[in-house]
A and B are shown apart, each in its own frame.
Chain A
C-alpha cells in the first residue's frame, strides 16, 4: 500500500528527530530518572546505592548549604558580570562596528573557544598565583596580595571563560533589531540614551535572557574553575557532586542535591524567560 503524504511527512519527522531523541533519552532522561530513584534511597554500606524509600537525603541537604550558597550566589553574580561586560561588546559589534569588519570581529570573540578552557584556566592560575601579578605588585612594594583561591578569582575565571556565550546571543538579537525602530525613536524626539533604554534594551531582552540562562545553567554544574582558581575554598555544587559521587560514594545524597538543583533551575529560568518575552513583546510585527 502506498504511503499517504501525511504519513510520509510523519515518518520523515520521526527519522530526523530519532537520533537526537534517542540520545537524549538514553543519556539524559534515563539517568535523570535513575537519579530521582537514587535520591529517595540509602547509601549502601560499601558505597553506592541501596533500595529504600526515605526523605533522609533531602533532609540532609542543609549540610551542603555552603556549596548551594556559593553556587546560587556566584553563578548569578558571575552571569551578571558577564552580561555587564558582554552587552557593550555585543552592542558595538552589531550596531556600531563597520559592517565590513564585523565578521572578523565576531570571529575574534569565538577564537578563544578553539583552545581548551582547562589550558586557559591554568594560565589564569599562573597569572593570579604568587609568581604572577602578586609578584609584580611585590616589586613595587605592595606585598602580600592574595588573588588566587578567592571568590574574586573564581568570578574572574567565570567572566573570562563564559564571555563568548553571553556575547553571541545578545549580538544576534541586536543584529536582528530593525534599525528603523531606532530612527523612528530619534525622529520622535528621543535622545540616544532614551532610545537605548526604551527601545534597544527591551527588544534585545530575549538575547540577554538566553545568554544569562546559558551561562547560569552551565555555571551551576561548573567544576573546573572553582577547583583551579578557588583552590577548594570556593566550593560549588559541581564540586560537591564530584566529592559525593567519586570520593565518599554517597550516591543517594549526591542524587538528592542534583535533583534539587535541576528543579530550582527549571523554576527560576521559566519564570525569567516568561518575563523577558512579555517585556519584549511579540516579534510578529517584523513579518509585515
Chain B
C-alpha cells in the first residue's frame, strides 16, 4: 500500500506553448491538501493557463500535471476530480437554478436516484444561502446570486479541488468583500483544496493561505501572504503586491552601506552585493513629520499631493534630489497637528531594516 499523496495538485516542469508563444514556462508547483492557493499575476502571466491545465481544458506541451498523485496528461475534464467556477460563471441559460446545480449530479454513473439528486442540489444551494431560489431562471438572478449558483454547481459533485477563475471580478466592492469571507468559510467547511486565479492582490492576500505570484509564465514567489508582502522575492513582487517606492541606490564596497543618488548614506543589513541596486520601501514604513528645523535626520521633501482615504491618507512627496515618494500616514500619527497640507515641507524617516535591496 502506498501512502496517500500529500499534494492535491502537482506541476512537474510544466510548459505550455501556443504556437511560438510560451504561456507557461517550466513551472514546478505543489499544492498541499486542504490549502487555499491564489495564483496571482498581471494578465498574460500564465495563471489562467495553469488553472485550465488543472481543469483539463488545456494539455501541457511539456511536463506533467498530477491531481491526487495521478498523472493527468490526456485525461479529459469530465474524468477529473476537480470542478471549476468559471469567470462570468458560465451558467446554463436554458436551465433553472436547481437544474444548473443538479447538472453535475445527473452525469454520475451509475445514475443517482432523482430524489438524491434533488436533495443534494438543494443542500448545495443552502450552503451558498440560496435556499428558495431553486425554480428561478438564471437571468432573473443578480450578479452576486449567479456567482453563488456557480459555486453551488461546482461544489455539488464534491470535488477534491475547487478551481476559481477570477470569481469575484464582476462584483462590486461591498459584495466582493462579503464573498471573500464566504469563500473562506466555505473552504473551511468543505475542507477541500481551493485554487484561485486573480489579478487582484488584495483578493489573493486576504483569502488564500498561500500566494503564488506569477510573471511572464513563471512562478516568481510562492509563500504565505504576509511573507509575500513583507519579504518580496524580487522587485516585480514588491511592485505588484501592494504599493512600493523604488529608490535607485549603490551598495558600497563594505556590503552594508547604501548610498542613495542624492548622496544620503544609509546603514542597511550587511552582506549585500556591492554595486548598483534598487531599494523597495513600502509607503507605510515611512514616518512623516513636519520639518521643524534644518537639523532633522531623514529625507527632506515637499508634499505635492494628498489623497484622503478616511482612516489613512496617502501623500505624494517630492524628496529633494530623489524624486517622488509615496507615503501612507495613519490618521493617528499626525492627528495632533491635523493633516499635512500640500506645499508643506516634511521629513521622511524610516527603519533601514524595512528596506528591500535588490541588485540591479
Contacts and interface: CB of A to CB of B under 8 A. Distances in A.
Q: Do A and B bind each other?
A: yes
Interface in B178-196: none
A190 B78 contact: yes
B169 to A, nearest CB: 12
Given A199-B92, A203-B94, A285-B138, A183 B143 contact: no
A273 B91 CA distance: 24
B77 A183 contact: yes
A202 B95 CA distance: 10
B76 interface: yes
B90 A180 contact: yes
14 contacts: A183-B77, A184-B153, A186-B56, A186-B76, A187-B86, A188-B83, A188-B157, A189-B107, A191-B107, A194-B107, A199-B92, A284-B139, A285-B93, A288-B88
Contact of B170 (A190, A202, A285, A288): A288
A279 B94 CA distance: 7
Nearest to A203: B94
A186 B80 CA distance: 10
A284 B137 CA distance: 10
A101 to B, nearest CB: 16
Given A189-B104, A194-B107, A184 B78 contact: no
Contacts of A281: 93-95, 137-138
A96 interface: no
Interface string B62-99: 00000000000000111000111011111111110000
A183 to B, nearest CB: 6
Contacts, number: 86
B144 to A, nearest CB: 11
A227 interface: no
Contacts of A280: 93-94
B55 interface: yes
A279 B96 CA distance: 11
Given A187-B77, A188-B157, A190-B107, A282 B137 contact: yes
Interface string A154-197: 00000000000000000000000010110111111111001000
Interface in B132-156: 137-139, 143, 146, 153-154
Interface centre among A184, A191, A286 (most CB of B within 10 A): A184
Interface of B: 55-57, 76-78, 82-84, 86-95, 103-104, 107-108, 137-139, 143, 146, 153-154, 157, 170
Nearest to B77: A186
Contacts of B154: 187-188
Contact of A178 (B76, B82, B90, B170): B90
Interface of A: 178, 180-181, 183-191, 194, 198-199, 202-203, 279-286, 288
Given A186-B77, A285-B138, A181 B92 contact: yes
Contacts of B107: 188-191, 194
Given A183-B86, A285-B139, A288-B143, 12 more contacts: A180-B88, A183-B90, A184-B86, A184-B90, A187-B55, A187-B77, A187-B82, A187-B83, A187-B154, A188-B83, A285-B91, A288-B89
A188 B146 CA distance: 17
Contacts of A203: 93-94
A191 B104 CA distance: 11
B149 to A, nearest CB: 11
B93 A180 contact: no
A280 to B, nearest CB: 5
A88 B153 CA distance: 30
B349 to A, nearest CB: 50
A191 B139 contact: no
A178 B138 CA distance: 15
A280 B89 CA distance: 18
B94 A202 contact: yes
Contacts of B137: 281-282
A178 B89 CA distance: 11
B303 to A, nearest CB: 44
Contacts of A194: 107
Contacts of A198: 103
Interface centre among B76, B82, B92 (most CB of A within 10 A): B92
B148 to A, nearest CB: 14
Contacts of B56: 186-187
Nearest to A185: B103
A117 B108 CA distance: 50
Contacts of B90: 178, 180-181, 183-184
